[in-house]
């Protein structure tokens, strides 16, 4: 297999890609992650995954690049990572006691090919009390997480059901990523 690079500084994506039994390096590109006017969560995450892959491909032209981005979509709005405690509480107020969508855009790129996909998983979140929010914030887990929660961590207690890919909610849909790698013939 060609030199594989994960275009992400996310430890969760690193762990997930490792589950495919692959050897890879990590390089995190610096890109503008601003949301464009009228952009949906699905379009946003695919655009960012493609931008990350392109930025890393320019630096490592012979490599196979895997890039991803994950965000939540609720009521037509994109919910990213919390910028503060207040922002986390605002996010939780929007998803508390209801379902929301988690979208991940994944792009696999070589110098000859670019393949990308958007994966959607629906997550049901229980109603959170103010005490739940205070307790969860105090763990530190919500920081740096899309939607201000980690399904693979303490937040699992608040999630009675998902419909779709669990690894997508963590940050990298493994089945679809493996399919994209096979499409660009990076896996034998």
Q: Which residues have a catalytic role annotated?
A: 69
Q: Phi first, then psi: what are they for 103, rounded to 5°?
A: -115, 135
Measured distance CA(67)–CA(48) in Å, rounded? 9
Here the tokens at position 86 are 């207040």
Rounded Cα distance between 147 and 84, Å, is 12
Cβ 74 vs Cβ 95: under 8 Å: yes
Whose structure tokens read 């390096």? 25
The closest of 31, 48, 4 to 171, measured between CA atoms, is 48
């Amino acid at each position: 297999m060609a030199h594989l690079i994960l275009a992400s500084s996310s430890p969760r994506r690193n762990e997930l890609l490792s589950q495919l039994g692959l050897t890879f390096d990590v390089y995190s590109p610096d890109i503008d992650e601003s949301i464009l006017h009228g952009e949906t969560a699905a379009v946003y995450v695919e655009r960012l995954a493609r931008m990350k892959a392109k930025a890393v491909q320019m630096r490592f032209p012979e490599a196979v690049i895997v890039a991803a981005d994950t965000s939540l979509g609720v009521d037509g709005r994109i919910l990213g990572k919390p910028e503060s405690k207040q922002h986390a509480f605002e996010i939780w107020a929007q998803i508390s006691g209801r379902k929301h969508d988690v979208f991940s855009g994944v792009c696999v790129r070589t110098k000859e090919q670019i393949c990308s996909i958007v994966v959607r998983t629906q997550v049901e979140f229980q109603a959170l009390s103010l005490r739940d929010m205070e307790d969860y914030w105090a763990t530190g887990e919500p920081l740096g997480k899309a939607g201000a929660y980690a399904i693979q961590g303490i937040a699992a207690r608040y999630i009675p059901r998902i419909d779709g890919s669990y690894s997508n909610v963590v940050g990298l849909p493994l089945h679809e990523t493996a399919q994209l790698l096979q499409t660009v013939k990076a896996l034998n």
